[in-house]
Amino acid sequence: MQILLAYLGVPRNEGPEVDPSAVTNDARELYRAGEKRVGTDERAFIRIFTESSRAHLVSIANAYQHMYARSLEKVMLVSNFLETPLIFLPCANQAQKINK
């Protein structure tokens, strides 16, 4: 619920522009906040998933796969907290395909 409220309250650029260095930083931050540590840093996930555009989320998922040889979606299934942000990835992927 916390992530949905944050998502509704944060303005974000929904354009197709993506900053590759920001994508790499966000993928790295998600790794550090999730897989690399015991427990999950929920704040990092909430910030990235609520402040990022669909195009940025798709790019993060692709970068994560490339950097860590793991699907971000599969990694997120490990934590109960991450079930909610998990809905953002398929939605972002689908919207990206429609907008092309």
CA distances from 33 to 7, 8, 59, 63 (A): 19, 23, 18, 16
pLDDT at 95 over 50: no
Quick one: what percent of the chain has pLDDT higher than 90?
26
For residue 42, what pLDDT is reported?
78
What is the reported pTM?
0.71
pLDDT confidence of residue 96: 47
Phi, psi angle pair for 31, to nearest 5°: -65, -50
Tens-place pLDDT, residues 13-56: 777 889 999 999 999 999 988 877 666 777 888 888 888 888 99
Three-state secondary structure of 17-73: CCCHHHHHHHHHHHHHHCCCCCCCCHHHHHHHHHHCCHHHHHHHHHHHHHHHCCCHH
* Predicted pLDDT of residue 34: 82
**What CATH number was assigned to the domain covering residues 1-7+17-99?**
1.10.220.10
